[in-house]
Amino acid sequence: FLPSQLSLLYKWLNSFPFLFLSGAGYHSESKAKEYKHVCKRACQRAVDRLKAGAFAVEAVAAALVELEDSPFTNAGMGSNLNLSGEIECDASIMDGKSLHYGAVGAISGIKNPVLVANRLLNEAQKGKLSAGRIPPCFLVGQGAHDWAVTHGIPPCPSEKMATKFSLSAYKRNKRKMELAEKMDTGHNQTKKRRQSSENENGSGCLDTVGAIVVDQEGNVAAAVSSGGLAMKHPGRVGQAAHYGCGCWAENACNMNPYSTAVSTSGSPFLASEDRVLGGVIVLRCCRCVEAQPSQDIQGALVEFLWSHTTESMCVGYMSAQDSKAKTHISRLPPGAVPGQSLAIEGGVCRLMSIVE
């Protein structure tokens, strides 16, 4: 990796709940406003839930729903199509307070996969099923779809989830694959296929989305959602759904004073590739109480950062005190090679509230 680009932002905030979200991939200058607007809407939706008294895990799910509904992201609506021309999505969510986790993989016909993951998490928190059965926390394929429908999550035809952009990308990718198969055989064909796959699954198709949240009580939560690689094999489950890989959230405990939430895009299993494309957002907070002459001030010191090897990464963050979210498109330095260069940016803030 090239030397990282590091910058820190210091800010004082007056209210405790805090949200941070991102999408790693490629974000053209012509669509920068649209990407930022999507992030702002997601931040606002989650913070509204926090202000209404929702816990972190509910707020992080609300943010992901907004991001999945956007046709500009590779999650939910407008996701990449697989080899069969179908949309299959992965998503996961984790509650730092209970350490419960929910995930779905290669799920089709559901507009918001994160809602299924969140429902799995909620159902698991209720305890065992009849006859002492253990409730599922990770479902895939048709089983995930059927479980979602029986638990009140409405289905959505796969063709309605495709957009003009995702359909045109699929047709373009398919033509390139067919051409490569006709031109070469044996080892050369395999090499061509891999090169074509690398080009088509470059930073322009990898806009996985994620969010991390800390609420008024200091609970943290994380979630991630992805349509996966373009032209992936049907049934493939990406890292967004894997436990401890797509996202992680864990509250502070006696042995550890820090609460931590992480959401990732990309995978360590890509280590053998020439270009390792991915991104990560991280939040770490520590509670503190400061005595003042007339009142006690309770708060948290929050550190947050984002890093990516993709060409760009759109991020947004907001606290309950902010009137609107702050957004930023982080880009690799001029001349840097995506997949071989690393950008890191972040900030530190103190979130305060009065102890009554």
The set of catalytic residues is: 208
Question: How far apart are alpha carbons 223 and 21 in whole angstroms?
Answer: 9
DSSP string, 285-304: EEEEEEE-SS-EEEEEEEEE
Question: How far apart are alpha carbons 8 and 302 in whole angstroms?
Answer: 12
Task: Give the 3-state secondary structure of residue 210.
Answer: strand
Please give the torsion angle defined by the CA atoms of residues 16, 22, 28 and 31, in that order, rounded to the nearest 10 degrees.
-50
Enumerate the β-bridge partners of residue 261. 249, 283
Question: How far apart are alpha carbons 29 and 338 in whole angstroms?
Answer: 17
Question: How far apart are alpha carbons 180 and 320 in whole angstroms?
Answer: 53
Question: How far apart are alpha carbons 43 and 38 in whole angstroms?
Answer: 9
Please give the DSSP secondary-structure letter assigned to residue 52: T
Buried b (16+ CB within 10 A) or exposed e, 296-335: eebbbebbbbbbbbbbbbbbbbbbbbbeebbbbbbbbeee
The region that residue 192 occupies, defined by phi over 0 for left and psi between -120 and 50 for alpha, beta otherwise, is alpha
